[in-house]
Amino acid sequence: MAEFLYLYKNRARFSFGSFAYLKAYAKRMLSIGELVRRNRTRNKLQRNGADIHPCAEIGVVKADGAKKNLKIGAFSFLGKVELALHDEIRIGQNVCINDGAILLTASHDLSDPEWKLKKAPIIIEDYAWICTNVIILPGVHVGRGAVLGAGAVVSKNVAPYDVVAGNPAKPTGKKRVEVLNYNPCEFLASNAAWLKG
C-alpha cells in the first residue's frame, strides 16, 4: 500500500484545521521518508522486470538474480529479506514475510560429480506468514494461510493453514484459523498515518 497515489486517494479525511487533521498530517509528514524509501525499492525492482502489485509493501530487499522471476501480489509485505532469483518466486496476496527471511531458488546437486546448479521455484500462497529468520529452500510450495515459525528451515511443501517450525521444519500439530481477512500492510506506521490518521 505504499504507493502514494493509493494512500492519498484512500486517506482518512478530517475537518480542515481540527486537532485530528493536524495530528494526522503531522504523522504523515514524519513518516514520509519511510514511504519514499519503500516506493523507491519497489520502483527499482519493477524497472528491472519484477511484477509487483502497487499495493504491496517492499522493505529492504536484497534480490540477486533475474528480477523478472519475482512476482508479488496485493497487500503483501516484505521486510528485510534476501531473495535468490535463479528461478521464480511467486508471492500471493496478503502475505507477510518478516525480517531476516531468506528465499533460495537454487542449490548444488550433491549427487552430481560436477556439482551442477539445480533450481526450482518457490510459491507462497495468500495469507501465509513467514516469520523472522526463516530460510525457504528451492522448490517449496507454502499453502494458503500457512505459518513458518521463526528460524525454521523449510525444505518441504507446507500444507494450507499448517504451522511448521524447527530445522528441518516440521508440522507443530497446530492449525491456523481458515477464515482470514487482514491486511499486513495496514500495521505499518506510514500507512496507518494516511489510512487511519
pLDDT of amino acid 49? 96
pLDDT of amino acid 68? 97
d(CA 181, CA 126) in angstroms, rounded, equals: 11
User: Which entry of 53, 86, 108, 141 is annotated as an active-site residue?
Assistant: 108
- The alpha carbon torsion through 36, 37, 38, 41 (nearest 10 deg) reads 120
Give 163-167's long-range contacts (Cβ < 8 A, gap of 24+): none
Q: What is the pTM for the complete model shown?
A: 0.89
Confidence of residue 2 (pLDDT cuts 50, 70, 90): low
pLDDT value at 135 more than 60: yes
- Write out pLDDT tens, residues 136-195: 999 999 999 999 999 999 999 999 999 999 999 999 999 999 999 988 888 788 888 888
C-alpha cell of residue 127: 495469507
pLDDT value at 7 more than 60: yes
Q: What is the tally of helices (H) and strands (E) in the chain?
A: 4, 19
Rg of the chain (C-alpha set): 18
- Write out pLDDT tens, residues 19-77: 999 998 898 888 888 888 888 888 899 999 999 998 899 999 999 999 999 999 999 99
- Write out pLDDT tens, residues 92-134: 999 999 999 999 999 998 888 999 889 999 999 999 999 999 9
pLDDT of amino acid 36? 85
Task: Please state the three-class secondary structure of 76-128 as a single string.
Answer: CEECCEEEEECCCEEECCCCEECCCCEEECEEECCCCCCCCEEECCEEECCCC
Amino acid at position 31, single letter: S
Has 108 been annotated as catalytic? yes
The more confident residue out of 88 and 26 is 88
Superfamily of domain 4-195: Hexapeptide repeat proteins (2.160.10.10)
Q: Residue 165 forms beta bridges with which residues?
A: 170
Domain spans of the chain, in order of start: 4-195
Q: 3-state DSSP call for residue 34?
A: helix
Q: 3-state DSSP call for residue 17?
A: coil
